[in-house]
Amino acid sequence: MNLRNKLVLLAWFFGMSICSLIAQSSVSGVVTDSETGEPLIGASVLVVETGSGTVTDFDGSYTVRANEGGELQFSYTGYQTQTVFVDSRTSIDVQLLPGELLDEVVVVGYGSVKKDDLTGSVNTIEAETFNQGAIISPTNLISGKVAGVQILSGDGQPGGNTNIRIRGGTSVNASNEPLYVVDGVPLRSGDGVAGSRNPLNFLNPGDIESMTILKDASAAAIYGSRGANGVVIITTKKGESGAPRITYDGRAFISSAIGEGQVLDADAFRRTVTFVSPSRLELLGDANTDWYDESLRAATGTQHDLSISGGGESNSYRASIGYQFLEGVVRGADAERVSLNLNFTQRAFNDKLTVTTSIKGNVNNNNFDNGPLGAALTFDPTQPIFDPTNLEYAGYNEYDLTLAPRNPISTIDQISNEGTAYRAIGSLDLNYDFDNLIPGLSFKTILGFDVEDGQSRRFVPTTHATFTASGFDGEFNNNNQRRNSRLLETYFNYTRSIGSSQFSLLAGYSYQDFQNSGSNLNGQNLETDVFGPNNFNVAEDIIVDNYIIENRLISFYGRINVNLNEKYLITASLRRDGSSRFSPANQWGIFPSAAVAWRVLEEPWAVGLANTFSTLKFRAGYGVTGNQDIVDYGYLPTYEFGDQRVRYQFGDEFITTVRANAYDAGLKWEETTSINLGVDFGFFNNRLNGILEVYQKTTDDLLFTVNVPAGTNLSDRVITNIGSLENQGVELTLNAVVIDKPNFGFDISGNIAFNRNEITQLDGQGSADILVGGISGGVGNNVQILRVGEAVNSFYLFEQRYDERGRPISDADAEDIDMYVDQNGDGMINDEDLRVIEQPAGDVLYGITGSLRLNKFTLDFTLRGSIGNHVYNNTASSRGFLNFIGNQDGFLKNVHPSAVFSRFRSAQFFSDFYLEDASFLRLDNVNLGYNFGQLGNSQINLQLYATAQNLLTITSYSGLDPETGVNGIDNDRFPRARTFTLGARLSL
Amino acid sequence: MNTLSKLIFLLLLMSAAACTDLDLVPQDRADPNTILSDEENYEPFLARLYAGLAITGQLGPGCDPCAPDISSIDEGFGNYLRQFFQLQEFPTETSVIGWDDGSIRDLHEQSWTSNNEFVRAMYYRIFFQVSQANEFLRETTQDKLTERGIRESFWSVVDGFRAEARFLRALSYWHAIDFFGDVIFYTEEDEIGSEPPVERSRADVFQFIVDELAAIESIIPAPSAQEYGRVDKAAVWMLQAKLFQNAQVYVGRDLNAEAITALEKVLDTENYQLEETYQNLFLTDNNLSAEMIWTIPFDGDNTQGFGGMTYLTHAPVGGAMDPADFGINGGWGGIRTTPEMVDLFPGGANSADSRALFFTEGQNLEIGEDVDIFENGYGLPKFRNVSSEGVPGVDGRYADTDFPVFRLGDAYLMYAESVVRGGGGSRDRAVQLVNALLERAYGSSAQNITDADLTLPFILEERGRELYFECHRRTDRIRFGEFSNNGVWSWKGGTPAGSTTEAFRDLYPIPASELLANPNLSQNTGY
């Protein structure tokens, strides 16, 4: 139906354009290089009014049909574009001037520089090249686009959280997330407030103008202690002077879950029970229920974005409103977002003063799923969903047993878990030009605030089995959280040219404080269900706790940029940062950086090279950045009161307890020193260009929670500065304009990044070998390790032995055959036989994006892949053993199908049988667009597009999805969705 | 315009001389001086030293985020009493567990390594207690009290508190040398953040504990003159007796005479008497029992957690057992016992001995190949969350039952043992005391013993029958030389039939993490 409509529209459009051609006359001419006079082959000639055009032939000549009063635009890669009025001419020859079209400007910390003048590793992605239809998080807009930048989403929740790793993680216990700076306001780190899924959801992707990634320390060091994991600078769209422009963007989504539940179906389950647990056959039911499938749905969604922008002589504005509603593919989960964005700029005093205000606000309403999938994979498939006689559980079929799984459909239908989160970020940006006092001097102040307020309300009615099977009736949780931040940034900028050299100087001060407070209220044993989570009085037992945390960052910073004769570029910066998280003796840290670049082609002797290269720039950078993203007050000795549930009986009284907390008075900054070497190159007037970079990042004084020698502190583990970590890598980016004709174009870009991560030292009083990577199944089971010489979170498992038929040796086999390799040969298999094997992070990450343009059609795609990433399949290991079926009384549990192959009788959590190579290649995004241009004589432009996300994944991983977030442990995830989007963009 | 520019420029220059204050103090907790300037807060701090045996952190179960005491292990798992039980009972015939939690099964199989997380948790729990007690002693000196303006009339109260802190520290040091042999040693003299403690021999630490107990004996209140839950002199004597009775193991000296002296003080007080019904010692109203010398109190409303008595009342319940009969919301289906434990009782599970609290319905006597199936092995739900009247505890999730650390029945058997071992005392009295226990067990004197029956093998078996699950079994078996290289029971050594293990397993290994962290330490032989 939709396709048919579209065909009709297309036919109509073609008919219209043919009609308009009749009124035109023919224009022809030759396009040449203004310096050499050589004809330019394949230069574009565009008829501005109609959007049609042609390219020059081998002689540089062209013929187009154009209106008498119209304009022709001539362009050629590496040359300046010229626009010429046709007047009444029929022959127009044009000489194009070589050189850049425009000086492309790139945003860097506290200012911007010409792209050619960059000395560090900085990548900017403009809105035009964003992934279309990114619906999980704003960060997905750049997924696969930048070498060495990995966007990790753990699962497929609508509006879900993502993690970004830029050139590998630099820390173990402190944060590994980059700093986000939105319109000059640095955001706090950490998760969203209560009731939200992703702290970045306040941003409507449609409002984002560009995202810039500062990858290396020479670029990021201006952000000092917050720059160790790179910086993502997000700039929102601003208005432009002129008549009001209105745009509307509407989309409809439909999603379905990828993959099927990995369970035995009812028939296979009956056969398996007969074989494995014949004494429990009477527990089988008569139904055939696919619990996993029953828990999922085809999810729909809509999005509407409306914006208006414009401005006068001395001001400009842009206002937008966005609405998005997305269902999750798991029943019960959804996300709604309403966002507002307002930017206003006013210039005054002969344009010396520029005032920009920016306000971004949003409200997120979320419904969270209540984890029905784990139960869906476990619940006996021979049992029915409903049992109308079971009124105690509202007619759902449930086991009246504490340890039994809960009916997932009852969980979906009965448990509610809503969240509401508000976030508003406002800034006032004053820029004053002191040219008449000291030429080249300007001053800038940014005042900003960031307020978040969230609430989550979870309600389990008395008719749900979670509590009633345990003899308890109903529960609610009501969590409130408020986070505030205030910002003051002030800096001077001084620019001066001497001859053909320029230098600029920046010096500034920054103050930002953060408050985080909230309370959690838990009520149990409800008198009635009618009020849901909204009436505390009906709970028999109430538990309340609260928290108040503050921290503060104060900084002084400076930077010098020097451009010597357009050949040599030098950048040096210094930041002195203070953080309230350290004791007065360690509060201040100094973070320097320096970088140089050499534009070889500007050298007089390089004329010969210029025949081959159109760009050749070598860069070298060094910088130190810090990390202070740890818990607050860790350096202070404190005493903490216990709550009312951990009191102790003295006589007839219960005494509230006071504990002395552990602390490390000597806590200090984690420091990452990085070196970056790069070369920017371009051929054929930059139609083929690229960047090659190598880097090394060494993190010292790692902030690390380690076992301290017993007796030296008040707990077994303390966060302290210990050890070192290293990341080394190579990145290559290539961009090619393969075809560039007025009606036909094809661009392709590819990037590939190799990164190696290693813990190089864990010295001092800390211990090596810390087990991490907790899994589901048992308590306190860890499958990963932190060990010197290995990558962070390397897997640490037994080496499974296999029989000659390739089946794993099982505990069902003869007793004298070891299941695992006895690594130390001592005749026993115990934890000394565990070995380090593989790691969650990929060795190679790559992305390929392409853009095809044919007449008014555009086709864009993003392919993304990873090689060498490994996943521990916890969904399989937690249920993949035959005793799992009947190891509890009164009910049966479904097993993971791998148990039928492995024949494991009891759990084998530490077998590397469950560790899999999860390398993948994924067709992330395909977008097909059609630009109608102006609709008839109206002022309205129309674009239609269709997007498919997650269309195809090639992997050998046996679980649902090879991408499992940061830690590489796959456990009953919210499945990722394949999403189709249809959209229309109207502009006026 | 120029003037305006200059003015703005000046203003901006001034604003750049801005705030550089970074000293923020927490608002929901405070530094020691602030807390301890109020004399009301000394008792809560002391209560926390006791509570270290019962709770796991400053926020109750279900907290997020939590405030755990130690973090090397899941918070509920890391409870002091839970670890103490697991390390004392699992490696013996009294209990076996089939869970899949890390290397928990290695405890019964006696195949643990220095990486065993439960051994590690016990180690850190012990020294968490020592460190908190040291902090208490460091922060309550008379100098500190004077400094904080605490009135002198309160000083004597603090002196009493300090003696109790020293008792609790001595208790944990006893556990340390019992489990680990030579251990680190440090006191309140060693400040936080100082050099790693040095290793001291088992004998040195033994002597320290003995000296400490002697020093506080006069300060600690007389038997029953103390509030419930806090230690009195009888608890001090019991701890002394424990040390002296095991001195052969700890320091190679026979101190049974000293043990008799301490035990006689307990037996002669007349403050304590045997509970009439054995089972009532392990129910929610056991705090009322006159047999208790010192307990770790638990309460379903006020002292919650997933360790301690919650664990001991839930983990042995499963199979055909109805949780309601045990006063709990649901069994955890974990702990069962071995056929060898059943055999300790004449007549096995159907013994006339009322201490044979086995649950056999739907359970197999033999454990067989599948340890993870709860039906394999008889149930032994000794501690229950119901009162002697059958009233369930206040909250089925968390137990009300208190844990008997020292009780009179134990003192009886200890006395008998030290008499048999030649420590003096009276054999007649010993036989009389043992018979008192047997009469309670059988409800008659039918099974009473004579002087000739009072032998060491009898006492080891009798301690098994009387005191199983009360965290004595491993220490007892080691004292009798029947723990590692002697004695076989199901799944010991890792086979269904059981086998002996090497003698070095009489000591647990120093955790690998600690060995790497503290270069002053040496590993125990065999690990």
Q: What is the pLDDT of residues A39-48, one digit of tens each?
A: 887 788 888 7
Question: Could B48 and A658 be called an inter-chain contact, meaning their C-beta atoms sit closer than 8 Å?
Answer: yes
Whether a cis peptide bond, with omega within 30° of 0, leads into B65 is yes
pLDDT band (50, 70, 90) for residue A766: very low
Q: Which of A467, A632, A707, A819 is the best substitution to test chain B (most B C-beta atoms within 10 A)? A: A707
What is the C-alpha to C-alpha distance for residues B426 and B433, in angstroms, rounded to an integer? 11
Question: Could B32 and A637 be called an inter-chain contact, meaning their C-beta atoms sit closer than 8 Å?
Answer: yes
DSSP 8-state code for residue A226 = G
Kindly state the average pLDDT of the residues B17-42. 87
Residues of A in contact with B320 (CB under 8 A): 889
Does pLDDT of A475 surpass 70? Answer: yes
Kindly state the average pLDDT of the residues A846-870. 94
Helical spans, DSSP H, in B330-484? 339-343, 408-420, 427-442, 456-467, 473-479
Q: How far does the CA of residue A721 sit from the closest CA of chain B (Å)? A: 13
pLDDT in tens, A206-227: 899 999 999 998 888 899 888 8
Does pLDDT of A381 surpass 50? Answer: yes
Tell me if chain A has a CB within 8 Å of the CB of B138. no
Tell me if chain A has a CB within 8 Å of the CB of B323. yes
Could you tell me if A743 and A45 are in contact, meaning their C-beta atoms sit under 8 angstroms apart? no
Most confident of A1-15, A49-63, A507-521: A507-521
| ipTM metric | 0.95
Residue in chain A lying closest to B527 (CA): A832
| CB contact burial A928-938 (16+ within 10 A = b; e otherwise) | bbbbbbeeeee
Does pLDDT of A286 surpass 80? Answer: yes
Could you tell me if A396 and A409 are in contact, meaning their C-beta atoms sit under 8 angstroms apart? yes
B400 versus A703: which is more confidently predicted? B400
Question: Could B58 and A888 be called an inter-chain contact, meaning their C-beta atoms sit closer than 8 Å?
Answer: no
Tell me if chain A has a CB within 8 Å of the CB of B207. no
Does pLDDT of B12 surpass 70? Answer: no
pLDDT band (50, 70, 90) for residue A450: very high
Supply the mean pLDDT for chain B.
94
Kindly state the average pLDDT of the residues B354-362. 96
Question: Could B513 and A770 be called an inter-chain contact, meaning their C-beta atoms sit closer than 8 Å?
Answer: yes
Kindly state the average pLDDT of the residues B39-54. 97
pLDDT band (50, 70, 90) for residue B128: very high
Tell me if chain A has a CB within 8 Å of the CB of B446. no
Q: How far does the CA of residue B14 sit from the closest CA of chain A (Å)? A: 11
Does pLDDT of A6 surpass 70? Answer: no
Could you tell me if A911 and A901 are in contact, meaning their C-beta atoms sit under 8 angstroms apart? no
Q: Which of B10, B14, B82, B131 is the best substitution to test chain A (most A C-beta atoms within 10 A)? A: B131
Residue in chain B lying closest to A833 (CA): B113
| Residue A87 confidence (pLDDT) | 77
Strand A870-873 relative to strand A969-970: parallel, antiparallel, unpaired? parallel
Residue in chain A lying closest to B226 (CA): A651
pLDDT in tens, A901-936: 999 988 899 999 999 999 999 999 999 999 998 888
pLDDT band (50, 70, 90) for residue A611: confident
Q: Which of B116, B192, B398, B402 is the best substitution to test chain A (most A C-beta atoms within 10 A)? A: B192
Kindly state the average pLDDT of the residues A967-981. 91
Closest CB to B22: pick one of A470, A554, A655. A554
Please give the helix or strand (H or E) that residue B269 lies within, else none.
none
Does pLDDT of A672 surpass 80? Answer: yes
Residue type, A495: T
Question: Could B24 and A650 be called an inter-chain contact, meaning their C-beta atoms sit closer than 8 Å?
Answer: no
Residue in chain B lying closest to A828 (CA): B111
Q: Give the percent of chain A with pLDDT over 70.
A: 95
Q: Give the percent of chain B with pLDDT over 90.
A: 83
Tell me if chain A has a CB within 8 Å of the CB of B47. yes
Q: How far does the CA of residue B100 sit from the closest CA of chain A (Å)? A: 5
Cα–chain-centroid distance for residue A842?
16
| Residue A427 confidence (pLDDT) | 94
From first CA to last CA, the distance across chain B in angstroms is 83
Residues of B in contact with A878 (CB under 8 A): none
Question: Could B45 and A639 be called an inter-chain contact, meaning their C-beta atoms sit closer than 8 Å?
Answer: yes
Nearest to B50 by CA among B171, B141, B155, B138: B171
A794 versus A720: which is more confidently predicted? A794
Kindly state the average pLDDT of the residues B34-61. 96
Question: Could A887 and B115 be called an inter-chain contact, meaning their C-beta atoms sit closer than 8 Å?
Answer: no
What is the C-alpha to C-alpha distance for residues A514 and B426, in angstroms, rounded to an integer? 73
Does pLDDT of A970 surpass 50? Answer: yes
Q: Which of B28, B69, B198 is the best substitution to test chain A (most A C-beta atoms within 10 A)? A: B28
Q: Which of A550, A649, A668, A891 is the best substitution to test chain B (most B C-beta atoms within 10 A)? A: A649
Kindly state the average pLDDT of the residues A305-328. 94
What is the C-alpha to C-alpha distance for residues B233 and A959, in angstroms, rounded to an integer? 62
Tell me if chain A has a CB within 8 Å of the CB of B96. no
pLDDT in tens, A223-261: 988 888 999 999 999 988 888 999 999 999 999 999 888
What is the C-alpha to C-alpha distance for residues B357 and B377, in angstroms, rounded to an integer? 13
| Residue B2 confidence (pLDDT) | 60
pLDDT band (50, 70, 90) for residue A321: very high
Region of poorest pLDDT, from A28-37, A454-463, B237-246, B425-434: A28-37
Q: How far does the CA of residue B457 sit from the closest CA of chain A (Å)? A: 33
Question: Could B228 and A649 be called an inter-chain contact, meaning their C-beta atoms sit closer than 8 Å?
Answer: yes
Residue in chain B lying closest to A667 (CA): B193
Does pLDDT of A732 surpass 70? Answer: yes
| Residue A768 confidence (pLDDT) | 62
| Residue B6 confidence (pLDDT) | 65
Reduced to 3 states, what is the DSSP secondary structure of residue A903?
coil
Nearest to A144 by CA among A970, A980, A985, A949: A949
Question: Could A767 and B514 be called an inter-chain contact, meaning their C-beta atoms sit closer than 8 Å?
Answer: yes
pLDDT in tens, A526-585: 999 999 998 889 998 888 888 999 999 999 999 999 999 989 999 999 999 999 999 999
Residues of A in contact with B173 (CB under 8 A): none
| Residue A481 confidence (pLDDT) | 96
Q: Give the percent of chain B with pLDDT over 70.
A: 97
Nearest to A760 by CA among A697, A667, A669, A840: A697
Question: Could B67 and A640 be called an inter-chain contact, meaning their C-beta atoms sit closer than 8 Å?
Answer: yes
pLDDT in tens, A927-951: 999 999 888 888 889 999 999 999 9
Supply the mean pLDDT for chain A.
89
Kindly state the average pLDDT of the residues A153-173. 84
| Residue A91 buriedness (CB in 10 A; 0-12 / 13-18 / 19+) | exposed
pLDDT band (50, 70, 90) for residue A103: low
pLDDT band (50, 70, 90) for residue B280: very high
Q: How far does the CA of residue B93 sit from the closest CA of chain A (Å)? A: 22
Residues of A in contact with B132 (CB under 8 A): 659-660, 714
Residues of A in contact with B191 (CB under 8 A): none
Enumerate helices (H) and strands (E) in chain B, giving the number of each: 19, 6
| Residue A380 confidence (pLDDT) | 96
| Residue A174 confidence (pLDDT) | 80
Please give the helix or strand (H or E) that residue B153 lies within, else none.
none
> What residues 381-440 of chain B have any CB closer than 8 A to a CB of chain A?
396-397
| Residue A491 confidence (pLDDT) | 93
| Residue A23 confidence (pLDDT) | 44
Does pLDDT of A132 surpass 70? Answer: yes
Question: Could B513 and A769 be called an inter-chain contact, meaning their C-beta atoms sit closer than 8 Å?
Answer: yes
B433 versus B319: which is more confidently predicted? B433
pLDDT in tens, B174-185: 999 999 999 999
Could you tell me if A110 and A222 are in contact, meaning their C-beta atoms sit under 8 angstroms apart? yes
Reduced to 3 states, what is the DSSP secondary structure of residue A18?
helix
Tell me if chain A has a CB within 8 Å of the CB of B144. no
The residue assigned the tokens 């900084």 is: A555
Question: Could B128 and A714 be called an inter-chain contact, meaning their C-beta atoms sit closer than 8 Å?
Answer: yes
Residues of A in contact with B30 (CB under 8 A): 638-639
Residues of A in contact with B195 (CB under 8 A): 712
pLDDT in tens, B130-189: 999 999 999 999 999 999 999 999 999 999 999 999 999 999 999 999 999 999 999 999
Dihedral over alpha carbons A379, A384, A389, A392 (to 10 degrees): 20
What is the C-alpha to C-alpha distance for residues A333 and A365, in angstroms, rounded to an integer? 11
Residues of B in contact with A638 (CB under 8 A): 26, 29-32
Question: Could A638 and B128 be called an inter-chain contact, meaning their C-beta atoms sit closer than 8 Å?
Answer: no
Does pLDDT of A386 surpass 50? Answer: yes
Could you tell me if A972 and A965 are in contact, meaning their C-beta atoms sit under 8 angstroms apart? no
| Residue A201 confidence (pLDDT) | 85
Q: For A588, how many CA atoms within 13 A lie in the half-sphere containing its CB? A: 10
Q: How far does the CA of residue A219 sit from the closest CA of chain B (Å)? A: 24
Does pLDDT of B479 surpass 60? Answer: yes
Question: Could A648 and B51 be called an inter-chain contact, meaning their C-beta atoms sit closer than 8 Å?
Answer: yes
A18 versus B97: which is more confidently predicted? B97
Residues of A in contact with B517 (CB under 8 A): 706-710, 765-767
Tell me if chain A has a CB within 8 Å of the CB of B221. no
Residues of B in contact with A352 (CB under 8 A): 1, 5
Region of poorest pLDDT, from A360-364, A686-690, A775-779: A775-779
